[in-house]
Amino acid sequence: MARIKKPKIAVWKFASCDGCQLSLLECEEELLAISEAVIIAYFPEATRAIMKGPYDISLVEGSITTPHDAERIHKIRRISKTLITIGACATAGGIQAIRNFKDVKQFIAAVYAHPEYIETLNKSTPIADHVFVDFELRGCPISKFQLVEVINAYLNGRKPNIPNYSVCMECKRKGNVCVMVATGQPCLGPVTQAGCGAICPSYDRGCYSCFGPKETPNTASLAQWFEKLNLSRKDIVRAFRGFNAFAEPFRKESETYEK
Protein backbone atom coordinates (compact mmCIF):
# COMPACT_ATOMS: atom_id res chain seq x y z
CA MET A 1 0.00 0.00 0.00
CA ALA A 2 1.33 3.41 -0.90
CA ARG A 3 2.23 5.50 2.11
CA ILE A 4 0.02 8.52 2.50
CA LYS A 5 2.12 11.65 2.56
CA LYS A 6 1.42 13.75 5.63
CA PRO A 7 0.35 17.29 4.78
CA LYS A 8 2.76 20.08 5.69
CA ILE A 9 1.44 23.00 7.69
CA ALA A 10 3.12 26.37 8.18
CA VAL A 11 2.13 29.17 10.57
CA TRP A 12 3.03 32.78 9.69
CA LYS A 13 2.84 35.93 11.72
CA PHE A 14 2.27 39.55 10.74
CA ALA A 15 1.19 42.46 13.00
CA SER A 16 -0.71 40.75 15.81
CA CYS A 17 -0.70 39.69 19.45
CA ASP A 18 0.12 36.03 18.64
CA GLY A 19 -3.15 34.95 20.27
CA CYS A 20 -4.58 33.21 17.20
CA GLN A 21 -1.54 31.03 16.53
CA LEU A 22 -1.41 30.40 20.26
CA SER A 23 -4.87 28.84 19.82
CA LEU A 24 -3.09 25.88 18.22
CA LEU A 25 -1.07 25.34 21.39
CA GLU A 26 -4.22 25.85 23.43
CA CYS A 27 -5.56 22.64 21.85
CA GLU A 28 -3.99 20.90 24.84
CA GLU A 29 -6.01 17.73 24.50
CA GLU A 30 -5.81 17.53 20.73
CA LEU A 31 -2.29 18.84 20.15
CA LEU A 32 -0.40 15.56 20.16
CA ALA A 33 -3.04 13.98 17.93
CA ILE A 34 -2.80 16.89 15.49
CA SER A 35 0.98 16.56 15.43
CA GLU A 36 0.55 12.89 14.47
CA ALA A 37 -1.73 13.73 11.57
CA VAL A 38 0.25 16.57 9.99
CA ILE A 39 3.81 17.78 9.72
CA ILE A 40 4.26 21.10 11.46
CA ALA A 41 6.79 22.35 8.97
CA TYR A 42 7.12 25.98 10.04
CA PHE A 43 5.83 27.37 13.32
CA PRO A 44 8.44 29.54 15.07
CA GLU A 45 6.33 30.11 18.18
CA ALA A 46 6.47 26.38 18.87
CA THR A 47 9.60 25.01 17.21
CA ARG A 48 13.04 25.99 15.99
CA ALA A 49 12.92 23.25 13.35
CA ILE A 50 12.18 24.59 9.88
CA MET A 51 11.17 22.52 6.90
CA LYS A 52 11.29 24.08 3.46
CA GLY A 53 8.14 24.74 1.49
CA PRO A 54 5.95 24.36 -0.45
CA TYR A 55 3.34 23.89 2.23
CA ASP A 56 -0.08 22.27 1.93
CA ILE A 57 -1.67 24.72 4.33
CA SER A 58 -0.41 28.10 5.47
CA LEU A 59 -2.13 29.64 8.45
CA VAL A 60 -1.59 33.38 8.41
CA GLU A 61 -2.05 35.54 11.46
CA GLY A 62 -1.81 39.33 11.64
CA SER A 63 -2.32 42.30 9.35
CA ILE A 64 -0.09 43.98 6.81
CA THR A 65 1.39 47.17 8.25
CA THR A 66 4.90 47.54 6.84
CA PRO A 67 6.34 47.64 3.28
CA HIS A 68 8.43 44.58 4.10
CA ASP A 69 5.38 42.59 5.16
CA ALA A 70 3.49 43.64 2.04
CA GLU A 71 6.19 41.84 0.04
CA ARG A 72 6.56 38.89 2.38
CA ILE A 73 2.92 37.84 2.04
CA HIS A 74 3.35 37.34 -1.74
CA LYS A 75 6.27 34.98 -1.14
CA ILE A 76 4.15 33.02 1.35
CA ARG A 77 1.28 32.80 -1.13
CA ARG A 78 3.61 31.40 -3.79
CA ILE A 79 4.76 28.53 -1.57
CA SER A 80 1.32 27.67 -0.14
CA LYS A 81 -1.21 25.38 -1.73
CA THR A 82 -3.97 26.62 0.58
CA LEU A 83 -3.76 29.90 2.47
CA ILE A 84 -6.06 30.38 5.44
CA THR A 85 -6.12 33.61 7.41
CA ILE A 86 -6.77 33.32 11.14
CA GLY A 87 -8.19 36.09 13.27
CA ALA A 88 -9.46 39.65 13.09
CA CYS A 89 -6.04 41.13 12.25
CA ALA A 90 -5.57 38.90 9.21
CA THR A 91 -9.18 39.12 8.03
CA ALA A 92 -10.03 42.76 8.81
CA GLY A 93 -6.82 44.60 9.74
CA GLY A 94 -7.31 44.11 13.47
CA ILE A 95 -7.37 46.64 16.28
CA GLN A 96 -4.34 48.35 14.75
CA ALA A 97 -6.57 49.37 11.82
CA ILE A 98 -7.89 52.17 14.01
CA ARG A 99 -4.95 54.07 12.53
CA ASN A 100 -6.68 53.87 9.14
CA PHE A 101 -9.10 56.58 10.21
CA LYS A 102 -6.34 58.93 11.35
CA ASP A 103 -3.10 60.29 10.06
CA VAL A 104 -0.60 57.63 11.02
CA LYS A 105 2.15 60.26 11.33
CA GLN A 106 0.38 61.65 14.39
CA PHE A 107 0.28 58.15 15.86
CA ILE A 108 4.00 57.67 15.30
CA ALA A 109 4.78 61.02 16.90
CA ALA A 110 2.57 60.15 19.87
CA VAL A 111 4.40 56.91 20.65
CA TYR A 112 7.98 57.25 19.46
CA ALA A 113 10.69 59.71 20.33
CA HIS A 114 12.35 59.16 16.94
CA PRO A 115 9.64 58.93 14.30
CA GLU A 116 12.26 58.87 11.56
CA TYR A 117 13.18 55.29 12.50
CA ILE A 118 9.67 54.00 12.07
CA GLU A 119 8.85 52.22 8.87
CA THR A 120 5.13 51.71 8.57
CA LEU A 121 2.31 51.85 6.06
CA ASN A 122 -0.48 54.39 6.38
CA LYS A 123 -3.02 51.63 6.78
CA SER A 124 -3.27 48.27 8.47
CA THR A 125 -4.90 45.96 5.93
CA PRO A 126 -6.19 42.39 5.85
CA ILE A 127 -4.26 39.69 3.98
CA ALA A 128 -6.98 39.39 1.31
CA ASP A 129 -6.23 42.95 0.20
CA HIS A 130 -2.83 41.67 -0.95
CA VAL A 131 -3.15 38.06 -2.09
CA PHE A 132 -5.83 35.46 -2.82
CA VAL A 133 -7.05 33.85 0.39
CA ASP A 134 -8.71 30.43 0.38
CA PHE A 135 -10.55 30.82 3.64
CA GLU A 136 -10.91 33.49 6.32
CA LEU A 137 -11.44 32.38 9.91
CA ARG A 138 -12.91 35.13 12.07
CA GLY A 139 -12.39 36.10 15.68
CA CYS A 140 -10.25 38.10 18.08
CA PRO A 141 -9.13 35.53 19.03
CA ILE A 142 -10.33 32.71 16.78
CA SER A 143 -12.14 29.77 18.33
CA LYS A 144 -9.76 26.82 18.58
CA PHE A 145 -12.62 24.44 17.79
CA GLN A 146 -13.32 26.31 14.56
CA LEU A 147 -9.60 26.19 13.75
CA VAL A 148 -9.50 22.42 14.13
CA GLU A 149 -12.64 22.18 11.97
CA VAL A 150 -11.12 24.31 9.20
CA ILE A 151 -7.82 22.37 9.15
CA ASN A 152 -9.76 19.11 9.18
CA ALA A 153 -12.01 20.26 6.32
CA TYR A 154 -9.11 21.29 4.08
CA LEU A 155 -7.19 18.11 4.78
CA ASN A 156 -10.26 16.13 3.76
CA GLY A 157 -11.13 18.25 0.74
CA ARG A 158 -14.45 19.51 2.04
CA LYS A 159 -15.92 22.89 2.89
CA PRO A 160 -15.46 24.01 6.50
CA ASN A 161 -18.63 24.00 8.53
CA ILE A 162 -18.39 27.56 9.85
CA PRO A 163 -21.67 29.44 10.40
CA ASN A 164 -22.12 32.93 8.98
CA TYR A 165 -25.26 33.81 10.89
CA SER A 166 -25.32 36.18 13.86
CA VAL A 167 -24.30 35.79 17.50
CA CYS A 168 -28.01 36.19 18.37
CA MET A 169 -28.59 32.63 17.14
CA GLU A 170 -26.03 31.28 19.61
CA CYS A 171 -27.50 33.42 22.36
CA LYS A 172 -31.01 32.11 21.74
CA ARG A 173 -29.80 28.53 21.66
CA LYS A 174 -28.10 29.05 25.03
CA GLY A 175 -31.31 30.44 26.47
CA ASN A 176 -29.74 33.79 27.34
CA VAL A 177 -32.00 36.70 28.12
CA CYS A 178 -31.29 39.43 25.54
CA VAL A 179 -29.03 41.97 27.23
CA MET A 180 -30.18 44.76 24.94
CA VAL A 181 -33.90 44.18 25.30
CA ALA A 182 -33.88 43.29 29.00
CA THR A 183 -31.17 45.56 30.38
CA GLY A 184 -30.70 48.23 27.72
CA GLN A 185 -27.03 47.46 27.14
CA PRO A 186 -25.77 48.11 23.62
CA CYS A 187 -24.92 44.80 21.94
CA LEU A 188 -23.34 44.17 18.55
CA GLY A 189 -24.58 40.57 18.54
CA PRO A 190 -27.22 41.12 15.81
CA VAL A 191 -24.59 42.17 13.24
CA THR A 192 -21.75 39.91 14.43
CA GLN A 193 -20.82 36.52 13.03
CA ALA A 194 -21.34 33.60 15.39
CA GLY A 195 -18.48 31.40 16.54
CA CYS A 196 -17.54 32.54 20.03
CA GLY A 197 -20.54 30.84 21.65
CA ALA A 198 -22.09 34.19 22.61
CA ILE A 199 -19.77 34.52 25.59
CA CYS A 200 -20.30 38.22 26.32
CA PRO A 201 -24.10 38.07 26.69
CA SER A 202 -23.63 34.90 28.74
CA TYR A 203 -21.46 37.00 31.09
CA ASP A 204 -24.09 39.74 31.19
CA ARG A 205 -22.51 42.21 28.84
CA GLY A 206 -23.18 43.30 25.29
CA CYS A 207 -21.17 41.76 22.42
CA TYR A 208 -18.33 43.98 21.20
CA SER A 209 -17.98 42.09 17.94
CA CYS A 210 -14.59 40.43 18.13
CA PHE A 211 -15.78 38.13 15.31
CA GLY A 212 -16.67 41.02 12.98
CA PRO A 213 -19.63 41.47 10.66
CA LYS A 214 -21.85 38.53 9.77
CA GLU A 215 -23.09 37.99 6.23
CA THR A 216 -25.37 40.90 5.19
CA PRO A 217 -25.47 42.73 8.54
CA ASN A 218 -27.98 45.52 9.02
CA THR A 219 -25.66 47.92 10.80
CA ALA A 220 -27.83 50.96 10.07
CA SER A 221 -30.79 49.48 11.90
CA LEU A 222 -28.67 48.49 14.89
CA ALA A 223 -27.13 51.97 15.05
CA GLN A 224 -30.64 53.43 15.21
CA TRP A 225 -31.40 51.16 18.14
CA PHE A 226 -28.22 52.43 19.80
CA GLU A 227 -29.50 55.98 19.36
CA LYS A 228 -32.73 54.97 21.09
CA LEU A 229 -30.58 53.69 23.97
CA ASN A 230 -29.17 57.23 24.20
CA LEU A 231 -25.73 56.43 22.86
CA SER A 232 -23.98 59.52 21.55
CA ARG A 233 -22.85 59.60 17.93
CA LYS A 234 -19.28 59.34 19.21
CA ASP A 235 -20.12 56.22 21.21
CA ILE A 236 -21.70 54.65 18.12
CA VAL A 237 -18.52 55.38 16.16
CA ARG A 238 -16.47 53.73 18.91
CA ALA A 239 -18.80 50.70 19.00
CA PHE A 240 -18.25 49.93 15.31
CA ARG A 241 -14.59 50.89 15.48
CA GLY A 242 -13.24 48.04 17.57
CA PHE A 243 -11.33 44.91 16.71
CA ASN A 244 -12.85 44.75 13.22
CA ALA A 245 -12.97 48.49 12.55
CA PHE A 246 -11.86 48.19 8.94
CA ALA A 247 -14.32 45.47 7.92
CA GLU A 248 -16.40 47.25 5.31
CA PRO A 249 -19.88 47.29 6.91
CA PHE A 250 -18.45 48.50 10.23
CA ARG A 251 -16.15 51.02 8.60
CA LYS A 252 -19.02 52.53 6.61
CA GLU A 253 -21.37 52.68 9.58
CA SER A 254 -18.76 54.34 11.77
CA GLU A 255 -18.03 56.88 9.06
CA THR A 256 -21.73 57.71 8.75
CA TYR A 257 -21.84 58.63 12.43
CA GLU A 258 -18.57 60.52 12.33
CA LYS A 259 -19.96 63.08 9.89
Partner 1 sequence: MKSKIIKVDYLARVEGEGRFFVKIKNDAVADVKFSIFEPPRFFEAFLRDRRFTEAPDITARICGICPIAYQMSSVHAMEMACGVKVDGPLRQLRRLIYCGEWIESHALHVYMLHAPDFLGYEDAIQMAKDYPDLVKQGLKLKKIGNDLVILLGGREIHPISVRVGGFYRVPTKKELRTMVEPLKWALEAALETVKVTATLTFPDLERDYEFVSLSHPDEYPFNEGRVVSSKGIDIEVSEFLNHFEEIHVEHSTSLQGKVIERDDYLAGPMARYSNNFEKLTPKAKKAAKESGLGKVCNNPFKSIIVRAVEMVFACEEALRIIKQYEMPEKPYIEVPPREGIGHGCSEAPRGLLYHRYKIDDGGNILEARIIPPTSQNQKAIEKDLCAFVEKNLHLSDEKLTWHCEQAIRNYDPCISCSCHFLKLKIDRS
Question: In DSSP terms, which residues pair with 138 in a beta bridge?
Answer: none
Question: Using CB under 8 A, which of 74, 161, 204, 227 touches partner 1?
Answer: 204
Cα 63 to Cα 16: distance, rounded to the nearest angstrom: 7
Q: Please tell me the distance from the alpha carbon of residue 142 to that of residue 45, in angstroms, as a whole number.
A: 17
- According to CB under 8 A, which residues from 128 to 157 bind partner 1? 140-141
Distance between CA atoms of 250 and 212, rounded to whole angstroms?
Answer: 8
Distance CA 178, CA 72 (A): 44
125 and 63 Cβ atoms separated by less than 8 Å? yes
Q: Evaluate the CA torsion angle 92, 97, 101, 103 in order and state its sign.
A: negative
Which of 203, 228, 230, 259 lies at the binding interface for partner 1 (CB under 8 A)?
203
Min dist CB 108 to partner 1, Å, is: 8
CB of 28 to partner 1, least distance (A): 4
Please list every residue from 22 through 51 that binds partner 1, using CB under 8 A: 22-23, 25-26, 28-29, 31-32, 35, 40, 44-49
Gap between the Cα atoms of 138 and 193, Å rounded: 8
Min dist CB 216 to partner 1, Å, is 26
DSSP state of 63: B
User: Is residue 218 a contact point for partner 1 (CB under 8 A)?
Assistant: no
Q: How far is the CB of 159 from partner 1 (least distance, A)?
A: 26
SS3 176: coil
Indicate the residue among 19 and 160 with the shorter CB distance to partner 1. 19
Where on the chain is the footprint of partner 1 (CB under 8 A)? 13-23, 25-26, 28-29, 31-32, 35, 40, 44-49, 65-66, 69, 94-96, 98-99, 102, 104, 106-108, 110-114, 117-120, 140-141, 196, 199-200, 202-205, 208, 210, 235, 238, 242-243
